[in-house]
Each structure stands twice: as C-alpha cells, then as structure tokens.
Amino acid sequence: MRQLAPPKPFRSYADLARLLASRGLEVADPLRAERKLAQVGYYRLSGFWFPAREFVRDQNGQVALCNATLKPLRQDAFRAGSSFDSVVGLYLFDKKLRQLMLDAIERIEIHMRSVIAHEVGYHDPLAYMDMRFINPKQATNWQDRRGRQRNTWNEWQNRQTEQINRSREDCIEWHRQNQKAMPFWVVVEAWDFGTLSKYFEILKGSYQNRIAARLGISNAKVLKEWLQEINTLRNRSAHHTRIWNQVASNPVPVLSAEPYFQGLALDHNALSRLYGLISVMWFLLRQIGPGSQWLRQVADIVDTKPGLPGCTFASLGLPSEKGFPRHFFGM
C-alpha cells in the first residue's frame, strides 16, 4: 500500500484567522473571525471563499488548469477587495436560499405524492406492490459495472419497505396496529423524495403521462428529469451543502413549446445552475398554488448576494449581473 502524505498540521482558530489575513483576506475583526471559524468550520467556509482566490497563471498569463479536473487552479492568495465578512455573508446568503428551496420542494413532493397515489391507486389501492404498473424493463435483472446482478423494481420495493417500517406516521401506525393492508394514499406518507422520483421513473408511460398532465406537462420524460434534479437539490439543501454556485452534470430540460420557457430563453449556463432549477420549480409551483409568493421571496434573497470578488450572478445562472430578472416573470 502506498504511503500516505502526512496531514496538514493542526491550527487554532486564531492561527487560522491570521493565516487567512496573511493571504490577503481582509479580517476586520479577528475575534469575530475566530468565532465564525469555530461555529461553521474552516473547510465549510473555504468553499465560499474559494472563488475569491487568485488564479494560477502560466508564463503567458493564461489561467492554468488542473490536469485531473480541467478546472482552473487557484493560488492561496485572495483577490483584492476580498473580506472575511463577505465570506460569512455569502455563507448566510446560501443558507437562506437552501431554506427557500426546501420550502418549494416540500410543496412539490407532497403534491406529487398525492397525485401519484390518486392516479395509480385509482386502479388498485395496492398498486405500489404490483409490478403490472411498472415498465417491464425496470423489473428485469441487469448487471452493473461490478458484475453484480441488479433488479430496479426489487431494489425500489426494498427501499420502500424500509421506509414504511421506519415510519411512525399516525396513519401508518394505525394500519400496522390494526393489521390492515395499507392503501397507496397511506404508504406515500413514508416516501422520501428519492423514492417518489424513482417510482415515477419506473412507472409505465401511460401512468407517467396522466401524472404529468395534472401538472400541465406534455412530456413525461421532462418531468422525470426534473424530479431527479430536484431530488439532488433537495439532498444538498437538506444536508447543508452549498448550492448557490453548484453546476449540475445534467442540465435540466425544458418544454420548448411552452410559452413560459420561451419567454425565459434559458441558456446552457442557466439550465446547469440554480437559476434553471428555480425556473422549473416555479413552473410547478404555479400549477400547484397559483397564489404562491415563493419566487418573489427568492428574488429578494438573490438580490442581496454579497459582492465578494469572483462571486457573480452568472454563478447562479442568471443572465446578467443586475440581479434577479424579475421582468421575465412578470414581477
């Protein structure tokens, strides 16, 4: 086994604050910096000050790229105008965004549970246990890259069973204690967003289409991909992971014939970043609750983004550096 390089030496909070100041980060109040480093952690905050670090440049002045990730390399030194207070402000900005994303995702998740239970449970209250409602391809065995035999339907069933067994929801407890079979509209109360998203993915197309139509969506495949990306955002938000400048490996698709998306004219950068998902979730929220003020709340938060060097509105996927484009949404 290859010998591991030794870890970085331990540093006190005071040492860490001094280290940041020595690298050009303005630390106006060292004691406050020490408190924040203790509260949040050096490496969690490092993800927020990373864009403010200077680029490594070659002898021609071009930005050097990492051989492994092909992303720009950074120096330890910070760009002029970078401050610890702005880093903390960006951290709190991201926290507020995560809270708003979870608010929207909760509404979407609960509505989707209800619609799926109604549209599929109509045919059989125990349809969630019946593979006849599932795309046959999803119920056949397949082999993964490690050579393991897999079965998507069986894996989904196992996951759902675990969630039902763990659940202490009153409606589930009542059925359990009275030894009654749990109908579809009861078991969905135990589902998390991932279970919901996967069930929609493995359903037969006819059921997917009915569910999608309830949300004003003409292409069930688009809804499937939306749910997958929203689930990723949900997991990041719920686990306190930075979202404001994350780039998705799979840009969200749009309904190109839908006037709403035509008016937004979302480019690749938007569809790969938070702004694209915000636009998608607002499309869904308008179907669920037309009186929602969620987007206005999001716009208000977005416009408070701290002015830390390197931390642009484009990193959120917005079309300009003027802030949230309210006029595109009739605000």
At 286-307, the pLDDT tens digits run 999 999 999 999 999 999 999 9
Same structural domain for residues 76 and 166?
A: no
18 and 151 in a single domain? The answer is: no
In this structure, the answer to whether residues 133 and 56 fall within a common structural domain is: no
Q: Is the pLDDT of residue 58 over 90?
A: no
Q: Mean of the pLDDT values across residues 68-96? A: 93
Give a yes or no: residue 263 inside a domain: yes
pLDDT in tens, 319-331: 999 999 999 999 8
How much is the pLDDT for 59? 83
Residue 168 DSSP symbol: -
Mean pLDDT within 36-49: 96
Cα 95 from Cα 74, distance rounded (Å)? 25
Work out the average pLDDT over 50-73.
86
Domain boundary among 82, 112, 131: 82
pLDDT, mean over the chain: 94
**pLDDT greater than 90 at residue 3:** no
For position 68, what pLDDT does the model report? 78
Instruction: Report the distance separating Cα 172 and Cα 167, nearest Å.
Output: 7
Please classify residue 275 by burial: count the beta carbons closer than 10 Å to its beta carbon, then call 0-12 exposed, 13-18 middle and 19+ buried: buried
- Is the residue at 55 inside a domain? yes
Phi-psi group of 83: left, alpha or beta (phi > 0 → left; psi -120 to 50 → alpha; rest → beta):
beta
Find tokens 């607002």 and name the residue: 282
Regarding whether 291 and 171 lie in a shared domain, the answer is: yes
Domain shared by 158 and 107, yes or no: yes
Q: Is there a single domain that holds both residue 137 and residue 256? A: yes
pLDDT at 64: 86
Is residue 2 in some structural domain?
A: no
Whether 46 and 108 map to the same domain: the answer is: no
Claim to verify: residue 33 and residue 141 sit in the same structural domain? no
Say whether 151 sits in a helix, a strand or coil: strand
* 166 assigned to some structural domain: yes
Q: Is residue 3 part of a domain?
A: no
Q: Are both 126 and 214 inside the same structural domain? A: yes
Q: Are residues 126 and 186 in the same domain?
A: yes
Work out how many domains the chain is built from and give that number.
2
Lowest mean pLDDT among 47-61, 62-76, 80-94: 62-76
Q: Which of 49, 65, 82 is the last residue of a domain?
A: 82
Domain that holds residue 39: 13-82
The pLDDT value given to residue 265: 94
Closest CA to 297 of 331, 260, 266: 331
pLDDT of residue 88: 97
CA quadruple 158, 192, 247, 213: dihedral sign: positive
**pLDDT of the residue at 301:** 97
pLDDT in tens, 263-278: 999 999 999 999 999 9
Decide: 183 and 121 in contact? Cβ < 8 Å. yes
Instruction: Kindly state the average pLDDT of the residues 31-50.
Output: 96
* Whether residue 295 is found in the same domain as residue 164: yes
Tell me, yes or no, whether 1 lies in a domain. Answer: no
pLDDT digits (tens, 9 = 90+) for 142-200: 988 888 999 999 999 999 999 999 999 999 999 999 999 999 999 999 999 999 999 99
Q: Give the position of tokens 């493995």.
A: 202
pLDDT at 104: 97
pLDDT of residue 1 exceeding 80? no
pLDDT tens, residue by residue, 10-34: 999 999 999 999 999 999 999 999 9
Cα–Cα distance measured from residue 251 to residue 109, given in angstroms and rounded to the nearest whole number = 21
In a domain, 49, yes or no: yes
Whether 189 and 256 share a structural domain: yes
- Please report whether residue 280 resides in a domain: yes
DSSP β-ladder status, 141-143 and 74-78:
unpaired
Residue 248 pLDDT greater than 80, yes or no: yes
Q: Which of 59, 82, 105 is the last residue of a domain?
A: 82
Distances (CA, A) of 242 to 85, 126, 144: 17, 39, 31
